[in-house]
Amino acid sequence: MNHYVHKIEDMYAKRKFDKEIDNVYGSKADTAAPANNTTLEEMKNSLPTLKNLHAKTGYAKLESSELYSVGAAEAKTFAYDTDNYTKANSVFYRSSFSSYRNLAHNMLHEFGHGVHYFNGDYYRYLKGGNRTDKQLQNWKEQYAFKFAFDNGGLPYQNNAWYLINK
């Protein structure tokens, strides 16, 4: 019985983020969002999940880009060795703004990277042994997909990138 109750709780959590998006954006949730920094700031401050999690990224800088995408990526989060990778900068390309919902889910995923950097997990993993760039990239993405899912985002097991690279 206890396992079943946890399953129900998990089902609710997986939909919680979309409910927040619907509550804030209503009928325009699935329409294109203006591709600019103001949209990022307003969304971060309007959705309770993002507002709460942004602090856990160490207040990662958020910015929009004129580029449509970089490869298949709709957004990227960067951190540098000058501060042991603890300060993150998330860039959202125009493709992220295809809808408010898409942007919100991309922000949640990128916040996973930001938390990963800020809490030192990335630095410890990087320094923990010889790993290829592909191993490092896969580990970072799996962390961010799981982080987003654990915070009410999309099921990462259904994501094409995740299925190919897990």
Residue ranges of domains in the chain: 2-165
DSSP E strands, the chain: 61-64, 75-79, 88-92
What's the rounded Cα separation, in Å, for the pair 7 and 77? Answer: 32
Check residue 135 and give its pLDDT.
Answer: 86
Nearest to 77 by CA among 99, 98, 53, 101: 53
Q: Which of 107, 109, 96 is nearest to 142 (CA)?
A: 109
The average pLDDT across 41-57 equals 97
Predicted pLDDT at 144: 92
| The pLDDT value given to residue 72 | 74
Residues 6 or more apart whose Cβ sits within 8 Å of residue 152: 13, 14, 15, 16, 17, 18, 20, 49, 108
User: Above pLDDT 70, what percent of the chain?
Assistant: 84
Mean pLDDT, rounded, for 127-148: 86
| Residue 120 scores a pLDDT above 80 | yes
Q: What is the pLDDT of residue 126?
A: 81
The whole-angstrom separation of Cα 46 and Cα 100 is: 12
Least confident of 3-7, 75-79, 111-115, 143-147: 3-7
Mean pLDDT of 136-164: 77
Distance CA(148)–CA(142), nearest Å, equals 10
Q: How confident is the model at residue 14 (pLDDT cuts 50, 70, 90)?
A: very low
Residues 108 and 153: beta-carbon distance below 8 Å: yes
Supply the pTM of this predicted model.
0.84
